[in-house]
Amino acid sequence: MAQASDPSAASGGVAAIFGLGNPGDKYQDTRHNIGFLIIDALIRKGSYSEQKGNRLTTLHRARVEGQEVWLGKPQTFMNLSGQAVNWVSGSKKVPPERVMVVVDDIALPFGKMRVRGEGSAGGHNGLKSIIADLGTQKFPRLRVGVGPIPEGWDQVNFVLGRFRAEERKALDDIIERSVLCLESWIKRGLEPTMNEFNRDPS
């Protein structure tokens, strides 16, 4: 599949990264909220200042190598994530090809990562909502594996469940690698990031 165009950071443009999840203590640290965990880690590592958001999303902002970068965690619940992404894309003038979305993926084994420049929702309700609101599939996404679903488990209960003890031991490394991936995308663009981070770490 052809990848979406991805202007370089050197163009001095604007980019946005959204980590998907559900707001509230009930959903904190669940598999479906790994996007939130990754955005939080990126905020802690970088020089991102908190900005005034609205009921749709939190917002943080920084300038990275001449590029304005917005970070968001939609507060609309997963199935309406597109409202937040569309609002930031429109109000901050971020073209869809410069909107990176970070999501959990039950089709990928736990800890595996895949970066793509465009594509279908793959059954993910957050991506479905974003595609509907942006009116395009041509935006990059980082899928972080949380699967497989154990035999006999309900899918909803699985993704809304918290990580097992053995998974938590590896979670910090997975989040750190995801942050490095997002920083690479901001600074180097899509193709170099795909080439590096779609390979499983040795």
> For residue 102, what pLDDT band results from cuts at 50, 70 and 90?
very high
Fold of 13-197: Rossmann fold (3.40.50)
pLDDT at 200: 78
More confident residue, 129 or 9: 129
pLDDT band at 131 (very low <50, low <70, confident <90, very high): very high
Residue 12: per-residue pLDDT: 58
Segment 2-49, tens digit of pLDDT: 344 444 443 459 999 999 999 999 999 999 999 999 999 999 999 999
Tell me what the mean pLDDT of segment 40-62 comes to.
96
Q: What one-character DSSP code corresponds to residue 157? A: H
Q: Looking at the DSSP assignment, which residues form a beta bridge with residue 54?
A: 57
Which residues are known to be catalytic? 32
